[in-house]
Amino acid sequence: MDQPDFTLSAGPTMSSPRVQQAQGQPMVFDYDPVFQERFRETERLVGELFRSANDVVLMQGEAVLGIEAAARGVVKPGLKALNLVSGVYAKWFGDWLRDYGAEVVELEVPYDEALDPAAVEQALEQHGEIELVALVHSETPSGIENPLAEIGPLAKRAGALVFADVVSAVGGTELRTDEWCVDIAIGGPQKCLAGPPGMSMCVLSEAAWEAIEANPNAPRGSFLSLLDWRHTWIEGGRVKFPYTPSVADINGVHAAVSQCLEDGLERVIGRHATAARACRAGVEAMGLELWPRSADYAANCVTAVRCPQGVEVKPVLAHVRERYGVMLSGGYGELADRLFRLGHMGPGSRSLYPLVAVSAFGRGLADLGADVDLGAAADATLQVLSEAGEAIPA
């Protein structure tokens, strides 16, 4: 089979030529002075991207590594945690917290809704002494965005550490790590930044570090250890790596984050919001139903669409990929067969990519017998892109 013409999936998503070229640069020794400076600069850029003055740790491995590392780092047996669940990833995170010995209170909403800050506040009051509040900012598996801006400060006021999985949020939607009181934020480069899927961007507050240092169970001398990075790299003056970083991925992330900041973070976020709006308009005009019950909390990274009655997810995806060369995504985990996801991240948030996603999806459904209005879909998608004006082409 040929390479896909368009990767408009839930990520890894298609990268820009700049990122590709960065990934393809000659390999250098990790102790080469040029690489070391590149690594440090990448840390600074990531801090800017997260709007944070806290320490940045760039672990080599997709974001789940950073998430596990942070969870194992802070959780000691008996730690009281409030896990906020509006989707598959948050659910799984709760399992981890329990595995590591936390006493977990879970506040769960249906997976097609976002978390409600009032309910969080109530839960914090009710359960008292919560030491850790965890949530997923943008639930990639279902395209739901949670109000981290409100929940972070609430949790902080209640005295808890705030842990946020921002993997598919960073670079695609507003994120103010420090202002929103997020102690541990873990981002991934392969979503809205359209970088390589090989790194965990971890941002940790001093409070987070204290908790981890104080935890006898926190990984030490392990690939999962944030402390190794702190003690060897950060405290050693950023000259010695505890583990060999992936030279190519650092180059790729450096390019991806640089591109985002040079374009202007607000502008890039605006572009993702427009693409998402266009995609939703197209899908609804086609006659389909969005997965999120309200567009208010539909994510900027992917648009989740309820699988229509009588349609099966996998054959549609396979057909769209084979016939039209467009790679979309289905659901994930327990939602795998219940929804489709159209990605609009990175380069895919630009230009007419949303139209490509909507039309390939719609035409594929039609080919397999579904009753969809492709003309209305295209018209509506283009209408949003047109009205968005100057935010689009940037």
Toward a second copy, which CB reaches closer, 297 or 353? 353
Tokens of 15: 């990268």
Q: Which of 103, 243, 258, 338 binds a second copy (CB under 8 A)?
A: 243
107 vs 85: CA distance, rounded Å: 6
State the binding string over 6-35 for a second copy (x if CB under 8 A, else -): xx-xxxxxxx-x-xxx-xxxxxxxxxxxx-
Toward a second copy, which CB reaches closer, 19 or 75? 19
Toward a second copy, which CB reaches closer, 112 or 249? 249
309 vs 48: CA distance, rounded Å: 45
For the purposes of burial, counting CB atoms within 10 Å of the CB of 383, is it exposed (0-12), middle (13-18) or buried (19 or more)?
A: middle
Toward a second copy, which CB reaches closer, 159 or 375? 375
Distance of closest approach, residue 102 Cβ to a second copy, in angstroms: 15
Size of the site for a second copy (CB under 8 A): 93
Contacts with 331 (C-beta within 8 Å, 6 or more apart), sequence order: 141, 142, 304, 313, 337, 338, 339, 340, 341
Distance of closest approach, residue 22 Cβ to a second copy, in angstroms: 8
Tokens of 364: 């594929």
70 near a second copy, judged by CB under 8 A: no
Contact in structure between 298 and 144 (CB atoms under 8 Å): yes
173 near a second copy, judged by CB under 8 A: no
Question: Which one-letter amino acid corresponds to residue 300?
Answer: N
Distance of closest approach, residue 387 Cβ to a second copy, in angstroms: 10
Contact in structure between 360 and 322 (CB atoms under 8 Å): no
Distance of closest approach, residue 352 Cβ to a second copy, in angstroms: 5
4 near a second copy, judged by CB under 8 A: yes
Distance of closest approach, residue 390 Cβ to a second copy, in angstroms: 8
- Of 305, 288, 284, 314, nearest in space to 370 by CA: 288
Toward a second copy, which CB reaches closer, 194 or 211? 194
Within 284-323, the residues that bind a second copy by CB under 8 A are 321-323
Instruction: Please tell me what DSSP assigns to residue 232.
Output: I
Contact in structure between 165 and 62 (CB atoms under 8 Å): no
Q: Which of 47, 61, 143, 187 binds a second copy (CB under 8 A)?
A: 61
352 vs 145: CA distance, rounded Å: 24
Which residues share a beta bridge with 185? 164, 203
Within 348-387, the residues that bind a second copy by CB under 8 A are 350-353, 355-356, 359-360, 362-363, 366-367, 374-379, 382, 385-386
Within 246-265, the residues that bind a second copy by CB under 8 A are 246-249, 252
Distances 318 to 1, 171, 323, 327, 333 between C-alpha atoms, Å: 12, 29, 8, 8, 18
- Of 375, 302, 304, nearest in space to 344 by CA: 302
Residue found under tokens 């997923």? 136
Question: Which one-letter amino acid corresponds to residue 119?
Answer: A
State the binding string over 218-237 for a second copy (x if CB under 8 A, else -): ---xxxx-------------
Toward a second copy, which CB reaches closer, 28 or 149? 28
Distance of closest approach, residue 119 Cβ to a second copy, in angstroms: 28
Within 182-221, the residues that bind a second copy by CB under 8 A are 190, 194, 196-198, 221
State the binding string over 30-49 for a second copy (x if CB under 8 A, else -): xxxxx--x------------
116 vs 129: CA distance, rounded Å: 20
Stretch that binds a second copy, among 93-101, 107-115, 120-128, 136-144 (CB under 8 A): 93-101
Q: Which of 117, 152, 245, 292 binds a second copy (CB under 8 A)?
A: 245
Contact in structure between 215 and 74 (CB atoms under 8 Å): yes
Distance of closest approach, residue 268 Cβ to a second copy, in angstroms: 12
153 near a second copy, judged by CB under 8 A: no
